[in-house]
Amino acid sequence: MTFFKQILLLVLVLNVFELQQITAQELIELQPSEVQSLIQSKTKQKAVLVNLWATWCGPCIEEFPDIVYLAEKYKDQLDVIFISGDFPDDTLRVKEYLLNQKVNWSTWLKSGSESEFIDAVHSEWSGALPFTIIYKKGGDEVVYWENKAELSKFEEFILKAVNN
């Protein structure tokens, strides 16, 4: 086998391995009827930050690394629920982004009717992305907001959620 063929084979093998890793990232379809039960199941053990985002949303991509950082920093006190607003055809792109951001926990993909999903998440949500809600352990809502936030805002409200 020539050197060129060996290199080509190696590149092919590495690409297949990378694709398997991307495919292995757990991305679960979430129906509107399942949203609140998911949140309630998580708030039994810890405070919860819910973030609705999409790969095509610039502000979402800007704040995403901060949320991942805080998820790691407060991992014993906080669960982060990422719900992607991407279209089902973009699942591979979502998984690749999550892998690049080192998100190693289950994440969700919005499914079903757009208006029903918006209503199921929060009565005050217009549907704009990003959208964040933070809950205390036990399920009491601390805060919600539309649009991008800075690290300091996330941390301020996470601390309020975990210290009560």
**AA letter at 124:** E
Q: How many CA atoms lie within 13 A of 131 on its CB side?
A: 16
Percentage, residues of the chain above pLDDT 90: 84
Strands across the sheet with 78-84, in order?
Answer: 27-30, 107-110, 78-84, 47-53, 131-135, 141-146
106: three-class secondary structure by DSSP: coil
List, in sequence order, every beta strand (DSSP E) within the chain.
Answer: 27-30, 47-53, 78-84, 107-110, 131-135, 141-146
Rounded to two decimals, what is the model's pTM? 0.85
Tens digit of each residue's pLDDT (9 = 90 or more) over 41-59: 999 999 999 999 999 999 9
- Residue with the two structure tokens 């805080």: 70
Task: Quote the pLDDT of residue 7.
Answer: 59
Domain positions in the chain: 26-162
- Residue with the two structure tokens 């979430």: 30
Q: Which CATH number fits domain 26-162: 3.40.30.10, 1.25.40.10, 3.40.50.1370, 3.30.1280.10?
A: 3.40.30.10
Tens digit of each residue's pLDDT (9 = 90 or more) over 81-126: 999 999 999 999 999 999 999 999 999 999 999 999 999 999 999 9
Task: Quote the pLDDT of residue 41.
Answer: 97
- Are the C-beta atoms of residues 118 and 30 closer than 8 Å to each other? no
- Residue with the two structure tokens 């985002």: 53
- For the record, the structure tokens of 69 come out as 């950082």
